[in-house]
Amino acid sequence: MRKVPLSLFVLWTLSLAGCQSRAAKVKQLQDQYNVEYPEYAKDCIDPVTAGSSRLLTGEKLTPEQIAAFEAKTKERDARCKPVADRLAQIQKEMIAAQQ
């Protein structure tokens, strides 16, 4: 008769430990994301919106300016894609850890 309550206690303890380690993993992933995202946002997102605002104001660009803007955009995309992919992977891991 003592084995049943003891077994239930052991299972409850193990499940509680699993929840705590899951929460710790989510926190670790969130901390990692919070460290990496601000630099990504500064380097990769703000320049995009800056270019968009120029177009919205109706500013006319010369073909040379357009070519330079497109070259900078391609360079930025190549530089930022690995970081964006890593941040997306962290988000997926956080979602998976929370389920």
Structure tokens at 16: 């509680």
Look at residue 8 in the predicted model and tell me its pLDDT. Answer: 47
Look at residue 6 in the predicted model and tell me its pLDDT. Answer: 46
Look at residue 26 in the predicted model and tell me its pLDDT. Answer: 87
User: Are residues 29 and 89 in contact, defined by beta-carbon separation less than 8 angstroms?
Assistant: no
- For the CA atoms of 85, 88, 94, 97, the dihedral, rounded to the nearest 10 degrees, stands at -70
Residues ≥6 apart with Cβ < 8 Å to 48: 73, 76
pLDDT of 83-99, one tens digit each?
999 999 999 999 988 88
* Domain chopping of the chain, boundaries: 21-98
pLDDT of 19-75, one tens digit each?
557 788 888 999 999 999 998 888 888 665 566 666 677 777 788 888 888 888 888
For residue 62, the one-letter residue type is T
pTM over 0.85: no
Q: Which DSSP symbol is given to 61?
A: -
Look at residue 20 in the predicted model and tell me its pLDDT. Answer: 58
Structure tokens at 76: 């930025």
